[in-house]
Amino acid sequence: MLYGIAVFPSQAVQDFANSWRIRHDPHYSIIPPHMTVRDKEELSDAQLPAITEHMEAVASQTKPFQVHFNRVSSFYPASHVLYLALEDPTPMIRLHEAVCSGPLHVPSPNFVYTPHVTIGQNMPPDELHDLYGNLRMSAVDLTTPIDQLHLLRKTASGVWHIDKSFDLQG
């Protein structure tokens, strides 16, 4: 099965992101706005107990925190993605590093971890540049608590569902 690890921002952040995602993100209907903590990966049923134990340990040692989205940014030209960017990504990077250790260690990641909420992807370059030009002039001032970590599973229909949630307790 395909699994991933993410956090979900507040409903206000999700509503803001979805106002753009509905037109510009082909994944709109398969997963709510989120910040990926660890990218998707095929995992066997035999691996799940150790991963669940690891995530419980990470959650028990991580205090809930707040993040602030303060702008729209883009990964262009590496990929055609527009996203809500964090003013200070440090707490999310620490969470990512804690999760991506032990049984979830990633020996050689394909990219530098940049926590974000996607608002558009797979757009033609002209559309991406036009939308980015408009959105980067807009004020973004969204704060959300991060108090849970979620193990997500992709179903046969392609939709992502929460398999298990972990409360950050610190």
Domain spans in the chain, listed from the N-terminal domain onward? 2-167
Percent of the chain residues past pLDDT 90, beyond the cut: 92
pLDDT of residue 107: 84
Which of the residues 24, 80, 96, 116 is marked catalytic? 116
pLDDT of residue 106: 86
Q: Is 105 a catalytic residue?
A: no
Q: Is 116 a catalytic residue?
A: yes
Tally Cβ neighbours within 10 Å of residue 98: 19
Q: Strand ranges (DSSP E) for the chain?
A: 2-7, 35-42, 65-74, 81-86, 116-121, 142-146, 148-154, 160-167
Which of the residues 24, 34, 80, 96 is marked catalytic? 34
pLDDT of residue 111: 86
What fold characterizes domain 2-167? Cyclic Phosphodiesterase; Chain: A, (3.90.1140)
The tens digit of pLDDT for each residue in 74-126 reads 999 999 999 999 999 999 999 999 999 999 998 888 889 999 999 999 999 99
The tens digit of pLDDT for each residue in 30-84 reads 999 999 999 999 999 999 999 999 999 999 999 999 999 999 999 999 999 999 9
